[in-house]
Amino acid sequence: MNVPFSLPNFFPALPEMFLLIMGCVVMIADLFVKSERRTGSFLLAQAALLGCTLLTGFILVSTGGELIYSFSNLFVADVMSHVLKLAAYVAVSVALIYSRQYLIDRDLLRGEFLVLLLFALLGMMVMMSANSFLTLYLGLELLSLCLYAMVALNRDSAASTEAAMKYFVLGALASGLLLYGMSMIYGATGTLTITDIARAVAKLSANTSDRVFLTFGLVFVVSGIAFKLGVVPFHMWIPDVYHGAPTAVTLVIGTAPKLAAFAMAIRMLVNGLLDLAVDWQQMLVILAVLSMAIGNITAIAQTNLKRMLAYSTIAHMGFMLLGLLSGVVAGNWFNAADAYSAAMFYVIVYVLMSLGAFGMLLYLSAKGVECENLEDLKGLNQRSPWTAFIMLVVMFSLAGVPPTAGFYAKFAVISAAVNAGQIWLAVVAVLLSLIGAFYYLRVVKLMYFDETGGSPTDAARSAGMDLALAANGEMRVLLSINGLALLVIGILPQPLLALCYLAIKSL
């Protein structure tokens, strides 16, 4: 419903407007920045994120979390969009700090990176507040085009260029599938506004012929969402893009955009097509099982850390789908808020874990030294016990070992599956989680029980990492906070879980 509001119609979109202006300011200001460290541009970008945080918080407090539509119902401001935006601001800000030294060492810290990152965030924010297929698609394309360009940022690297081309071609194909599905649903309902689609679907789903037409469009919509989440069988771009892109860009792709993809799934499937839940839940069951199985099993064979974390991402998105597919049981919606809030909790915790994992790879990389392979972590405990401990916490959290946040996140989505009567699915998830624990614990074993290799190449790499460990003080502090946050959320998950529940309940 429309909430009476005395302030202007564009008030809910103030953070997006502010970020757009600041992105243009950073673009122009960077022309006058000559330093390789680009301190002025970097601080402006961080100021933009801080301003967005303050504006989003102000809107949340001043509206009391009420649902507000604006721009002719194309844009919605609710608790879920505010929470996801705040999480995205934190993820992008942390990604900027983690990436800065890595990009400086490789002459890649340019104004283009900062501007593309801010505009990618703008696309995510539009997706999170979309109340129309049109708005959702505009935000998705803004995000995607920025990410394609960021992957190709290192123009001298053949691997980066190849990864960008693969990402672009497959992304265009996924966008086509999504658009086709949207057009089918538009043809059946006669509207692009998500709230109106929900009303129309509620009436049409009772008619068999209309339901078949809607389900046909739903298949393409789910395919488009699955590509953006990176779940099997739409996962083929993730390992190549994660591996080929500069690690700083991989960090960006693997974190905040997952929040936008989750918002996209909630807006389209839960807000718009909930009366077709029995159909899309069956599709998500297949996607979840395949993703958990192929992601965890294939990751075992990887020796490159970025590819290993790519397959880990696929598996984790499969776990997140357990929450999404457990909301409506035999037409009963009572479990919906618990299940969808568990999925939201999972995706936020996953972003925090990914920030820690890829941030550690960036931290251990120095000029001329890339920390990309499993062997690069050998003997890390001997060189820096605290760094090894933070990496251990991140790996344990990814594996779902208590008392880390990753354990409670998996527990929440598996509980949602059990409450939905999907006992067999919960058993499969637990077994595949145990299989996946192997490759995370292998990293811990390398750090604590293996010695650094004795070849000249290994010695040079170790020397480079020692230099990296001695520098980057602010990054070391932030990584410590990141790792400890995973422990704190694991021990005290209730505040974040309650916030996710409130966000979903407000829908």
Average of per-residue pLDDT across 113-138: 94
Higher model confidence: residue 106 or residue 430?
430
List the single range of 33-37, 297-301, 433-437 with lowest mean pLDDT.
Answer: 33-37
Backbone angles phi, psi at 38, to 5 degrees: 50, 50
pLDDT digits (tens, 9 = 90+) for 412-462: 999 999 988 889 999 999 999 999 899 999 999 999 887 776 555 555 556
The predicted structure's pLDDT at residue 211: 81
* Helix intervals (H) in 266-379: 277-300, 305-324, 336-363
- What was the pLDDT predicted at 309? 93
Is the per-residue pLDDT at 2 higher than 50? no
The whole-number pLDDT of residue 23 equals 93
Q: Give the range among 227-231, 367-371, 452-456, 485-489 with minimum mean pLDDT.
A: 452-456
The pTM for the full model equals: 0.92
Q: How far are the Cα atoms of 1, 437, 488 from residue 297, in angstroms, in the given order?
A: 46, 10, 30
* More confident site: 4 or 242: 242
Q: In angstroms, what CA-CA distances link 376 with 360, 379, 382, 460?
A: 12, 9, 13, 11
> What pLDDT is attached to residue 35?
77
Whether the per-residue pLDDT at 1 is higher than 50: the answer is no
Look at residue 44 in the predicted model and tell me its pLDDT.
93
Residue 86 to residue 89: CA distance in whole angstroms: 5
Q: How confident is the model at residue 479 (pLDDT cuts 50, 70, 90)?
A: very high
Average pLDDT over every residue of 473-500 = 91
Higher pLDDT, 11 or 93: 93
List, for residues 360-406, the tens digit of each pLDDT value. 999 988 777 788 888 888 888 888 889 899 999 999 999 989 899 99
User: 304: alpha, beta or left, given left = phi > 0 and alpha = psi -120 to 50?
Assistant: beta
- Tell me: pLDDT of 331 over 70: no
Predicted confidence at residue 6, as pLDDT, reads 47
Q: What is the DSSP letter of 178?
A: H
Task: Provide the sign of the torsion angle of the four alpha carbons 378, 384, 385, 387, taken in this order.
Answer: negative
Which tens digit of pLDDT belongs to each residue from 345-356? 999 999 999 999
Given a cut of 70, whether residue 465 has pLDDT beyond it is: no
Q: 369 vs 185, which has greater pLDDT? A: 185
Q: What angle do CA 497, 503, 506 make, to 5 degrees?
A: 135
Confidence of residue 3 (pLDDT cuts 50, 70, 90): very low
Q: How many CB atoms lie within 10 A of CB 53?
A: 16
What average pLDDT score do residues 492-506 get?
Answer: 90
Per DSSP, the three-state class of 198 is: helix
Residue 120 has pLDDT above 90, yes or no: yes
Please list the residues that pair with 369 across neighbouring strands.
366
User: For 180-184, 249-253, 273-277, which range has the lowest pLDDT when averaged over its residues?
Assistant: 273-277
Buried b (16+ CB within 10 A) or exposed e, 269-298: bbbbbbbbbebbbebbbebbbbbbbbbbbb
Percent of the chain clearing pLDDT 70 (strictly above): 94
pLDDT at 209: 77
Evaluate if residue 468 carries a pLDDT over 90: no
Q: How far apart are CA 104 and CA 94, in angstroms?
A: 16
CA distances from 254 to 29, 239, 250, 465 (A): 28, 11, 6, 24
pLDDT at residue number 7: 53
Determine contact, residues 484/389, Cβ cutoff 8 Å. no
- Mean of the pLDDT values across residues 274-280? 85
CB atoms within 10 A of CB 418: 16
Domain boundaries defined on the chain: 11-505
pLDDT tens per residue across span 436-446: 899 999 999 99
How many Å separate Cα 199 from the centre of its chain?
30
The pLDDT value recorded for residue 139 is 94
Given a cut of 60, whether residue 64 has pLDDT beyond it is yes
Residue 206, pLDDT > 80, answer no
